[in-house]
Amino acid sequence: MKITINGKSCEGVEGQTVLEVARAGGFNIPTLCHLADLTPTGACRICVVEVDGMRNLVAACSTPAAEGMVIRTDSERVLSARRFIVELLVSCHPLDCMTCEKTGDCTLQNLAYELGVTGSRMEGDRYDYPVDSSNPFIVRDYNKCILCLKCVRVCNEIQGIEAIKTTQRGFDTKVATAYDNTLQDSTCVFCGQCVQACPVGALTEKKAKGLGRAWETRKVRTTCPYCGVGCQQELHVKGEQIVKVMAVEDGSPNKGRLCVKGRFGYDFIYSDERLTTPLIKENGSFREASWDEALDLVANKFKQIIAESGPDAIAGVSCARSINEDSYQMQKLFRAVIGTNNIDHCART
Amino acid sequence: MTNSFGEFADAKMFLCIGTNMTEAHPVAATFLKNALRKGAKLVVVDPRRQPLAKLADIHCQINVGSDIAFLNGLMNVIITENLYDKEFVANRCDNFEAFKTKIMEYPVERAAEISGVKPETIREVARLLSTVKPAMLCYTLGITEHTTGKDNVMSTANLQLLLGNMGMPSAGVNPLRGQNNVQGACDMGALPNVFPGYQKVIDPAMREKFARAWNVEKLPENNGMMMPHMMEALPDRKIRAFYIFGENLANTEPDIHKVERELASAEFLVCQDIFPTETTRFAHVVFPAASWSEDDGTFSSSERRVNRVRKVKTPPGEAKPNWWIFKEIAKRMGHTWESNSSQEIWDNEVSVLAPALGGIKYSRIEEDGLQWPCPTLEHPGTAFLHRDGMFTHGKGVFNPVDWKAPAEIPDREYPFVLSTGRRLYQYHTRTQTGRSGMNFLMSEETADISPADAQKLGIQQDERIKVRSRRGEVEVRARVTEQVPPGMVWMSFHFREGSANWLTNAVYDPATMTAEYKACAVNLERL
């Protein structure tokens, strides 16, 4: 299938939306409510484009591409419509970007900037919801919610938890748990998928608060240290501090998903209870020691036991939490240096 | 896993046995749920009506430890009603006749009596499994943590062979691994019988290969000891030095009183960890180690995928990478090792020595990891094993297995069966989750009991009760829940106080030496 976008011919296949063909062709069409892999809702209308022969602008996310379509994504009519939508969203949005956690990574902020929306043309009603920061992981500020409903859709369709839905109608529409309880008093499992999906500052990571701006952090891909699924994480790091953890979109196997432990269980590494120096027990209690002293003590004791009782009098268990290279190294120490196959780990228990 | 997580989304049928996936492997469970939304069928076999069971088309609420009786009965129906994959069995499998003879000893009525699942339900599952193909069989520790753990695993494999559900996408036998790198620790040869890449230590050719690579004259010829044997050898000093790297054995092993007696009797105990734990209390020397995010390296996941782990911060104080600590001990014992980083260890040693990992180098896993077997640098990795029924040993082998009851079954003095596992909001002995805010979501252990038993004993929701076994006792709050059937108590081992491991039975599968965490007898008392 061939369609023409901004004068350029683009290839598409049956079943693709205008948005999909346009993005594959390198055209930037903004979205707020769009989620790949889920049924399009066409709720926010920010992705509108002009199609020759159609009277109204259409939402690119929910319009099937058809042979011979001629589309403009950047006409004044399109830009003006987008500007109007952003003005409406901004008219009831708290413009506290200076202190908002989401600044620099906020789709609404970026759109307002790109479209030249200042927020001064229309003054609308404002919401006055209390901010829920009653749990250690997710801050919910529905004063900033633009009702794109991505959070609801990932909770219901991706994670399959069904903890949140919309309540009320019109301006009073609000995302809420059953009976509008706190998350901890709902069926929420704190996977934080809603936070990852939120395009604005309505849902943010509590632990990240004040630790670093989006443009200050480097993104480091790594693997989750909990169960055996091997979820791919994107650590947002400032200096030596992990500011927050996101899932790698499209990374295998988790495809942008995490659970409560993977998303929020990372900061044990900063605990002040960490072991920081070798310890040697003397008269029943530990004292600090240098690496040389502790390593010499262990090596000498091993040598003594091997001489007296043979290498099979030494045994060790490796760690199923640590990296492959560490387990390799430990079994090599036992087999090649100590001379025993008494090496195991917790796979069996 | 023979297959991959990526195949969950397109699966047509799941048989989940002994897996509490929504809590222990939550992200895997999301893909299963997505498949269910698209019409996939789900059969759950589990003593508890846990969240996965609530999503199931059929939930077979088997009695604890009756897995083989149930599966043999299921296969009895499949064979007697001629529902099995005759082409696959005839051409791709061996030992069917002996297996069939054993299965005929388990008519569905006998299976029903032992497992507590109605005969018509077992028949219904058999018919469903024979009509929707392929099916992915998933299991976790509910299968392995029994004195019959190895036979339980064999039994799940028998079923998938019988149904011809092997060697294709969205099929296979899929154990979900509980820890991030338990697969990798096995792959690396942290096992008493194999070198890295599952090459046997009793094979002289393998010993010669590794001796040459490691620049030593010879390597030990006999299989070493398994962990429970090591610990049992501490009191009589058959093992004089014990080196524990990153394990909190004092909390994770069955029968804590016994474990602590053993650890306390050690002549020389070395612990290497990131935190002081209940286990490091017994150490003579403690080495402070670098944690996740403090070293570069790789983890291998359940689906045999080697993934990169990256360093973003320096270890605190004097803490050092684990591989460095082992290298320093080797140096002091007269061995100089060349590799001086995780990448050098992997690229120059591991992937050179383990044929299945030969094609995996750090340069190839910058983004998505690769799944072994991946023998060459051009190989794309292997999403599912035994393609087209081509098994490592030629054909798939049926292993006839018999049901045996757990070692300790309820009696008049200890009338309840205790089963244990993990909960969503904590992880193992909480060295990590206990220091990352998860206590907000789960702050203490509970004993999960059925409403019927609660009523019978007069126990209220959240009331503190005593759970007692022949080995110990704990005081915990009662959590009265429909998840648990009458006669059963369910607990986890996350909190030292109230840990199920004060109660669990230190008896093991004779082949795997995996402990029977899933079944022991306890009594409940009001305080």
Q: For B413-461, what is each residue's pLDDT tens digit?
A: 999 999 999 999 999 999 999 999 999 999 999 999 999 999 999 999 9
Say if the Cβ atoms of A225 and B432 lie within 8 Å: yes
Beta strand pairing call for B305-309 and A8-11: unpaired
Q: What is the pLDDT of residue A120?
A: 74
Domains of chain A from N-terminus onward: 2-74 (3.10.20.740), 95-207 (3.30.70.20), 210-274 (2.20.25.90), 279-348 (no CATH)
Strand-by-strand arrangement of the B41-45 sheet: B58-60, B41-45, B13-17, B136-139, B173-175
For residue B213, give the chain A residue with the closest CA: A336
What average pLDDT does the segment B48-66 reach?
A: 97
Query: Scanning every residue of chain B, which has its alpha carbon at the shortest distance from the alpha carbon of A284?
Result: B284
pLDDT tens-digit readout, A290-314: 999 999 999 999 999 999 999 999 9
CA-nearest residue to A347 within chain B is: B182
Interchain pair B34, A158: CB under 8 A: yes
- The confidence score (pLDDT) of residue B118 equals 98
pLDDT tens-place string over residues A172-215: 999 999 999 999 999 999 999 999 999 999 999 999 999 999 99
Instruction: Report the range of poorest mean pLDDT among A10-19, A33-42, B182-191, B478-487.
Output: A33-42
CB-CB: which of B37, B185, B233 is closest to A320? Answer: B185
Does residue B198 sit at the A interface (CB-CB below 8 Å)?
A: no
As given in the structure block, the two tokens for residue B111 are 């299976």
Mutate which: B33, B226, B314, B333, vs A, most A CBs within 10 A: B333
Q: How many Å apart are CA A121 and CA A116, to the nearest integer?
A: 11
CB contact under 8 Å between B189 and A189, yes or no, is: no
Is the pLDDT at A85 greater than 80? The verdict is yes
Res A348 pLDDT > 80: no
Residues 349-378 of B with CB under 8 A from A: 349-350, 367-369
Return the domain boundaries, chain B: 5-176, 182-375, 416-526
- The number of residues in chain B equals 527
Give mean pLDDT, residues B302-323: 98
CATH class, range B416-526 = mainly beta
What's the average model confidence in pLDDT over A19-28? 95
Least confident of A6-20, A37-51, B203-217, B465-479: A37-51
Q: Is the pLDDT of residue B97 over 90?
A: yes
Structure tokens at B263: 């650890």
Chain B: closest CA distance from residue A115 (Å):
35
Q: Which of residues 191-220 of A touch B (CB under 8 A)?
A: 191, 207, 220
**Whether residue B45 has pLDDT greater than 70:** yes
pLDDT above 90: residue A39? no
Q: Give the position of tokens 């969203």.
A: A89
Q: Which positions in chain B touch A157 (Cβ < 8 Å)?
A: 34, 37
Are the beta carbons of A349 and B239 separated by less than 8 Å? no
The verdict on ipTM greater than 0.95 is yes
CB B302 within 8 A of CB A320: no
Band (pLDDT 50/70/90 cuts) for residue A40 is confident
pLDDT beyond 80 at A285: yes
- pLDDT of the residue at B346: 98
**Whether pLDDT at B359 is above 70:** yes
Tell me if the domain spanning B182-375 has CATH number 3.40.390.10.
no
Residue closest to A59 by CA, chosen among A43, A77, A83, A80: A43
Averaged pLDDT for residues B54-69: 97
How many cross-chain Cβ pairs, A to B, lie less than 8 Å apart?
A: 450
Top residue of A38, A153, A223 to mutate, by most chain B CBs within 10 Å, is: A223
In this structure, the dihedral spanned by the alpha carbons of residues A298, A301, A303 and A307, taken in order and rounded to 10 degrees, is -160
> Is the pLDDT score of B283 beyond 90?
yes
Find how far residue B401's CA is from the centre of its chain: 20
What is the pLDDT, as a whole number, of residue B93?
95
Closest A-chain CA to B294: A269
pLDDT of residue B523 exceeding 80: yes
Partner-chain residue, chosen from A271, A302, A332, that has the shortest CB–CB distance to B214: A332
Contact A281 B5 (CB under 8 A): no
User: Average per-residue pLDDT in chain B?
Assistant: 97
Taking CA A247 as the corner, what is the angle to CA A109 and CA B18, rounded to the nearest 5 degrees? 145
- From the list B466, B527, B523, B476, the residue with the least C-alpha distance to B498 is B476
In A258-287, the residues whose Cβ lies within 8 Å of chain B are 258-262, 264-269, 271, 273-281, 286
Q: Do the Cβ atoms of B431 and A268 come within 8 Å?
A: yes
Q: How far apart (Å, rounded) are the C-alpha atoms in residues B182 and B204?
A: 27
Rounded-to-integer distance, Cα B170 and Cα B38, Å: 14
Residue A349's pLDDT band, with cuts at 50, 70 and 90, is low
Convert the pLDDT of each residue in B98-154 to its tens digit.
999 999 999 999 999 999 999 999 999 999 999 999 999 999 999 999 999 999 999
Residues of A in contact with B299 (CB under 8 A): 223, 225, 230, 323-324
Q: What is the mean pLDDT of residues B233-256?
A: 97
d(CA A230, CA A221): 12
B219 touches chain A (CB under 8 A): yes
Instruction: Read off the pLDDT of residues A210-258 as tens digits, 9 standing for 90 and up.
Output: 999 999 999 999 999 999 999 999 999 999 999 999 999 999 999 999 9
* Residue A128, pLDDT score: 95
Question: Which CATH fold topology does B5-176 show?
Answer: Dimethylsulfoxide Reductase; domain 2 (3.40.228)
| CA pair distance B74, B111, nearest whole angstrom | 8
Model confidence over B199-211: pLDDT tens digits? Answer: 999 999 999 999 9
Put simply, the chain B residues between 162 and 191 with a CB less than 8 A from any chain A CB are: 176-191
**B487 in reach of chain A (CB within 8 A):** no
